[in-house]
């Protein structure tokens, strides 16, 4: 699990819980690194149950949303499941406006998301 600069990981049963180290996910370089790390979880580490906990995230750019969409596609190709939790209302609004709240399985908190696997 070494080598993750943008993510903190912990295992809860067979689910990998991912927390973001950055409060604001807006800079292109950081978003590229974040995407690479998220994709590596699926492709190299073969994790098939991911829960992305957004409790520490204050702001998310549209480029970061693009990485999440790609991650969702990769999870589906690998037969995995992706859930999101703890999204602040102002960020959730962006998911709702872009209709991404229909694409992603979003739960209010980590416990709800874990129970949904």
CATH number, domain with residue 84? 3.30.750.24
Q: How far is CA 22 from CA 5, 7, 49, 57, in A?
A: 10, 8, 22, 7
Domain presence at residue 1: no
State pLDDT tens for residues 33-49: 999 999 999 999 999 99
pLDDT at 45: 94
Domain presence at residue 79: yes
pLDDT at 2: 58
For the chain, the first-to-last Cα distance in angstroms comes to 22
Nearest to 18, CA basis, from 64, 57, 50, 44: 50
Confidence of residue 1 (pLDDT cuts 50, 70, 90): very low
Domain presence at residue 105: yes
pLDDT at 3: 77
Domain carrying residue 20 = 7-115
Number of structural domains in the chain: 1
Domain presence at residue 44: yes
Domain presence at residue 2: no
Over pLDDT 90: what percentage of the chain? Answer: 97
């Amino acid at each position: 699990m070494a080598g993750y600069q943008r993510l903190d990981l912990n295992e809860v049963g067979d689910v990998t819980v991912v927390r973001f180290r950055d409060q604001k996910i807006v800079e292109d370089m950081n978003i590229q690194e974040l995407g690479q790390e998220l994709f590596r979880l699926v492709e190299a580490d073969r994790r098939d149950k991911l829960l992305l906990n957004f409790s520490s995230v204050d702001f998310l750019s549209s480029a970061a949303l693009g990485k999440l969409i790609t991650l969702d596609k990769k999870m589906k190709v690998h037969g995995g499941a992706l859930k999101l939790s703890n999204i602040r209302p102002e960020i959730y609004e962006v998911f709702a406006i872009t209709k991404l709240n229909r694409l992603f399985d979003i739960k209010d908190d980590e416990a709800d998301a874990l129970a949904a696997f």
